[in-house]
């Protein structure tokens, strides 16, 4: 199918919160006839002024779009909202952009496909103002034919969107992995900022001098990922036994300055336990064993 032919596809957006508004706006800007519906009436005024059609109920909204995009709070809400329109889902593609767990997403996928529709889950990795940006990332999972059919339309949401798996639950895990890495990094930096502040050193001044070293830390992720995937953690340098004295110093320094030591203390305990378990000469990637335990 050509891009020109795809631009005639009709799109329905269900859920007009902050993200839903941005999604509908992106489809309108891309030239797609767009129908919108929200449980609370009155949220479609600005979109209607831009050319969107406001459906009176969810059944009519679903019937209007070949691509039905859902962005609400909670996957239990997704199925509950779509149930009145179950009879009209057949032959359509449902793109669920609602946050939740992988199990919840798979349950919605099973129900949607049982109604005769194709299913995609999308995990949006940007805030609403980032929708439509060339560098914005959306992880997709589910029906590959549906993804290929709507690829050009989906590009309107983020230029770096990609199908990562046929399993619709996988994009959820991708998103959680990115967020988990982000939160771990941010927490580590904010602890560092508190430690520096206790000496009167501004965080920006620190980054002026140490920014290159901090940025270089991310360059280690591919090698750590390879060690985790292979299950091989022996290290010729930078082994866990070399980490322990440094993290113990960080714990002691934090306590001496009245800075909360729980975060570095957790790291020290992980490293110490691995060393006691016989892994002193392994790399930091060995700690994946701790996180992989039930």
Q: Are residues 45 and 155 in the same domain?
A: yes
Please report whether residue 155 resides in a domain.
yes
Q: What is the pLDDT of residue 294?
A: 64
Q: Are residues 35 and 125 in the same domain?
A: yes
Indicate which CATH number applies to the domain containing 246.
1.10.1040.10
Please report whether residue 190 resides in a domain.
no
Query: Residue by residue, what is the 3-state secondary structure of 49-118?
Result: HCCCEECCCHHHHHHHCCEEEECCCCHHHHHHHHHHHHHHCCCCEEEECCCCCHHHHHHHHHHHHHCCCE
Q: What is the mean pLDDT of residues 250-255?
A: 97
Q: What is the mean pLDDT of residues 253-276?
A: 97
Please report whether residue 220 resides in a domain.
yes
Give bridge partners of residue 163 from the DSSP assignment.
Answer: 140
User: Taking 60 as the threshold, does the pLDDT of residue 1 lie above it?
Assistant: no
Please report whether residue 117 resides in a domain.
yes
Q: For 92-132, how does the pLDDT look when each residue is reduced to its tens digit (9 = 90+)?
A: 999 999 999 999 999 999 999 999 999 999 999 999 999 99
Q: Please state, in angstroms and rounded to a whole number, the distance separating the CA atoms of residues 164 and 20.
A: 23
Q: What is the mean pLDDT of the chain?
A: 94
Please report whether residue 178 resides in a domain.
no
Q: Are residues 21 and 135 in the same domain?
A: yes
Q: For 180-202, how does the pLDDT look when each residue is reduced to its tens digit (9 = 90+)?
A: 999 999 999 999 999 999 999 99
Please report whether residue 93 resides in a domain.
yes
SS3 24: helix
Q: Are residues 113 and 202 in the same domain?
A: no
Q: Are residues 141 and 247 in the same domain?
A: no
Domain boundary among 119, 142, 166: 166
DSSP string for residues in 236-279: SSS-HHHHHHHHHHHHHHHHHTT---HHHHHHHHHHHHHHHTT-
Q: Please state, in angstroms and rounded to a whole number, the distance separating the CA atoms of residues 94 and 110.
A: 12
Domain boundary among 146, 166, 186: 166
Q: Are residues 211 and 116 in the same domain?
A: no
Question: Dihedral (C-alpha) 211, 256, 186, 247: value to the nearest 10 degrees?
Answer: 80
Q: Are residues 157 and 218 in the same domain?
A: no
Q: Are residues 145 and 203 in the same domain?
A: no
Please report whether residue 251 resides in a domain.
yes
Q: Please state, in angstroms and rounded to a whole number, the distance separating the CA atoms of residues 135 and 159.
A: 6
Q: Pick from 77, 72, 76, 55: which is nearest to 64 by CA?
A: 55
Q: Are residues 34 and 104 in the same domain?
A: yes
Q: What is the pLDDT of residue 6?
A: 47
Indicate which CATH number applies to the domain containing 47.
3.40.50.720
Q: Are residues 158 and 252 in the same domain?
A: no
Asked whether 159 and 133 are in contact (CB, 8 A), the reply is yes
Q: Are residues 204 and 70 in the same domain?
A: no
Q: Are residues 23 and 149 in the same domain?
A: yes
pLDDT band for 236, please (50, 70, 90 cuts): confident
Domain boundary among 166, 181, 213: 166
Report how many domains make up the chain: 2
User: Taking 60 as the threshold, does the pLDDT of residue 2 lie above it?
Assistant: no
Q: What is the mean pLDDT of residues 72-79?
A: 92
Please report whether residue 182 resides in a domain.
no
Q: Could you tell me the residue range of the domain that residue 130 belongs to?
A: 3-166
Q: Please state, in angstroms and rounded to a whole number, the distance separating the CA atoms of residues 55 and 53.
A: 6
């Amino acid at each position: 199918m050509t891009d020109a032919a795809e631009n005639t596809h009709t799109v329905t957006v269900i859920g007009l919160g902050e993200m839903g508004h941005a999604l509908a706006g992106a489809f309108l800007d891309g030239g797609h006839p767009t129908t919108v519906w929200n449980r609370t009436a009155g949220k479609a005024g600005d979109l209607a002024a831009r050319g969107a059609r406001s459906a009176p109920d969810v059944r009519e909204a679903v019937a209007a779009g070949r691509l039905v995009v859902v962005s609400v709070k909670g996957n239990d809400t997704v199925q509950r909202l779509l149930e009145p329109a179950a009879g009209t889902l057949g032959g359509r593609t449902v793109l669920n952009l609602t946050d939740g767990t992988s199990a919840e997403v798979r349950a919605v996928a099973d129900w949607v496909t049982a109604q005769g529709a194709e299913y995609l889950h999308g995990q949006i990795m940007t805030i609403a103002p980032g929708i439509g940006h060339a560098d914005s990332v959306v992880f997709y999972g589910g029906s590959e034919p549906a993804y290929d059919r709507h690829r050009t339309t989906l590009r309107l949401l983020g230029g770096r969107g990609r199908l990562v798996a046929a399993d619709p639950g996988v994009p959820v895990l991708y998103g959680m992995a990115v967020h988990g890495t982000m939160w771990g990094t941010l927490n580590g930096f904010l602890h560092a900022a508190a430690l520096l502040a206790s000496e009167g050193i501004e965080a920006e001044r620190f980054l002026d001098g140490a920014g290159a070293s901090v940025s270089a830390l991310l360059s280690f992720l591919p090698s750590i990922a390879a060690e985790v995937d292979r299950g091989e953690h022996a290290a010729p340098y930078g082994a866990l036994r070399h980490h322990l004295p440094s993290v113990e110093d960080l714990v002691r320094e934090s306590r001496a300055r009245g800075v909360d030591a729980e975060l570095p203390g957790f790291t020290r305990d992980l490293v110490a336990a691995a060393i006691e378990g016989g892994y002193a000469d392994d790399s930091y990637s060995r700690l994946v064993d701790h996180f992989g335990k039930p």
